[in-house]
Amino acid sequence: MTFSLQGFKAYPIRTDGATRQHAVQVALLKIVSANTDVALDIASDTSGSLGTFWTAATGDSTYGQLATDALGVVQTIQNIAAQLIEVSVPASYTKVVSSPTGAEYTVGVTNNLPTITYVSGSAPTTQIVRLEWVLQDTKDALVADYGAAF
């Protein structure tokens, strides 16, 4: 796999609740890959047992440190998130429930992180993935900015 994480941003969105402000966390991942790289398994983030995406991204000779830093932020967000509420990929792709074809994809969620699956030969070669979570009460969103401009 040729995944390269070339930019990462994490930032808060504040929303007013009935009794307190609830934090919403957003993360943007700028990813470059081959059109045959279909398993964007962001959810496989366990240290010592990384999935295809994080293994390739953290092992990249140019952007590996950026990916390692981003992975730490993602793991922290995962621990303070109440729920993953949005996964966005390029608008030219359509989400389907199962058996994607062409410019379609599926999303599974494990422990508040997604696994995005594309079709081989049709996967985007450059994409910005946007993730959004509602955080647990009393938890504050993180701020990070690594790599390429968005």
pLDDT tens-digit readout, 46-72: 988 899 999 999 999 999 999 999 999
In whole angstroms, what is the distance from residue 127 CA to residue 139 CA?
29
For the whole model, what pTM was predicted? 0.93
- pLDDT confidence of 148, banded at 50, 70, 90? confident
Mean pLDDT of 78-107: 96
What does the pLDDT read at residue 17? 61
Q: Which two tokens stand for residue 81?
A: 């998130």
Mean pLDDT of 2-29: 84
* Residues of the chain above pLDDT 70, percent: 94
Tokens 């997604």, residue located: 114
Q: Which two tokens stand for residue 143?
A: 């701020």
Tokens 């991204």, residue located: 57
pLDDT tens-digit readout, 125-142: 999 999 999 999 889 999
Residue 119's nearest CA partner among 97, 102, 142 is: 102
DSSP 8-state class, residue 125: S
- Are 148 and 16 in contact, with CB atoms under 8 Å apart? no
SS3 state at 64:
helix
Q: Where are the domains of the chain?
A: 4-145
Rounded to 10°, the helix 52-59/64-80 angle is 140
What does the pLDDT read at residue 22? 67
In whole angstroms, what is the distance from residue 145 CA to residue 65 CA?
13
Q: How many CB atoms lie within 10 A of CB 2?
A: 12
pLDDT tens-digit readout, 17-39: 655 566 899 999 999 999 999 99
- Give me the count of residues in the chain: 150
- Are 135 and 79 in contact, with CB atoms under 8 Å apart? no
